Amino acid sequence: MGFLDRFRRKKDDESSRIARLLLGGRIVDGRVVDVEEDAEGIVTRVFYSYNVSGVDYESSQLLNPEQQRLKNRYIPGVRVTIRYDPRQPPNSAVV
């Protein structure tokens, strides 16, 4: 490990990134655009859009097992709550 490696910010894994957004991210309304389902019809990924300060963003997120059980919450066109990083609005998560 080099000297500068000690000061570099570590890359977050997806679960810690989402946990950080859920604790400290700003809240905005979004809409489900599309979903991906597995072979059993369980929604595994949600595609969503939201607007921050007049700028439209689109993103996707793998759903955790708890979210997958609430599949009626993730139907295209449904309103969802989004948490985003105010310093980097494209960094977001579905609540």
CATH number for 50: 2.40.50
Residue 63 is part of which domain span?
A: 26-94
Structural domains counted in the chain? 1
Band of residue 15 on the pLDDT scale cut at 50, 70, 90: confident
- Whether residue 65 lies inside any domain: the answer is yes
* pLDDT one-digit tens code per residue, 37-62: 999 999 999 999 999 999 999 999 99
Length of the chain: 95
- Whether residue 19 lies inside any domain: the answer is no
Helices (H), 1-95: 14-24, 65-69
Residue 47, Cβ neighbours under 10 Å: how many?
17
Q: Is the pTM of this model over 0.85?
A: no
- Whether residue 34 lies inside any domain: the answer is yes
- Whether residue 61 lies inside any domain: the answer is yes
- Whether residue 5 lies inside any domain: the answer is no
Burial of 84 (0-12, 13-18, 19+ CB in 10 A): buried
- Whether residue 86 lies inside any domain: the answer is yes
- Whether residue 51 lies inside any domain: the answer is yes
- Whether residue 48 lies inside any domain: the answer is yes
